[in-house]
């Protein structure tokens, strides 16, 4: 009788562990992608700074400098806009994966609990129908 009650709870614990492990994998994958994006941003900052320093030293006049800075900032803005789009895609994919994980976990997680509840109800009915009082070992 105790096995009927404990087995669903053990299954529930295993299911919870597997679900949390899967959630951890989703989070890890997302943070790895975001880390790559941040490294890309740092590289873009450094590259732009080097190009700007080169532009300052190699410009032959005010008009060359302004034209070079305009071109440099246009390239930088395009790179940053692309990076923001990629980051948005990463976060959207992560949201979708977590929503799917939640739905799957909700479906898989309630079955063992319902099974345990049924086992407890059956045990309670048997105990109520038993002519002998139930004594628990100390």
Tell me the pLDDT tens digit for each residue of 33-77: 999 999 999 999 999 999 999 999 998 998 999 999 999 999 999
Q: How far apart are the first and last CA of the chain?
A: 18
Length of the chain: 138
Helical pair 2-58 and 62-129, crossing angle rounded to 10 deg: 180
The position carrying tokens 């959630």 is 23
Average pLDDT on 100-115 reads 75
What DSSP element (H or E) covers 57? helix 2-58
What pLDDT, on the 0 to 100 scale, is given for residue 11? Answer: 75
Task: Look up the pTM and report it.
Answer: 0.67
What pLDDT, on the 0 to 100 scale, is given for residue 47? Answer: 93
What pLDDT, on the 0 to 100 scale, is given for residue 126? Answer: 73
């Amino acid at each position: 009788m105790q096995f009927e009650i404990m087995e669903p709870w053990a299954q529930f614990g295993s299911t919870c562990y597997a679900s949390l492990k899967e959630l951890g994998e989703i989070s890890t994958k997302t943070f790895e992608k975001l880390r790559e994006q941040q490294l890309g941003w740092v590289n873009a900052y450094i590259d732009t700074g080097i190009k700007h320093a080169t532009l300052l030293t190699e410009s032959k006049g005010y008009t060359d400098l302004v034209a070079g800075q305009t071109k440099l900032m246009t390239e930088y803005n395009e790179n940053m806009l692309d990076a923001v789009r990629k980051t948005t895609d990463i976060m959207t994919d992560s949201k979708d994966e977590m929503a799917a994980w939640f739905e799957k976990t909700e479906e898989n997680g309630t079955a063992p609990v319902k099974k345990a509840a049924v086992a407890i109800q059956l045990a309670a009915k048997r105990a109520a129908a038993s002519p002998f009082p139930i004594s628990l070992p100390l």
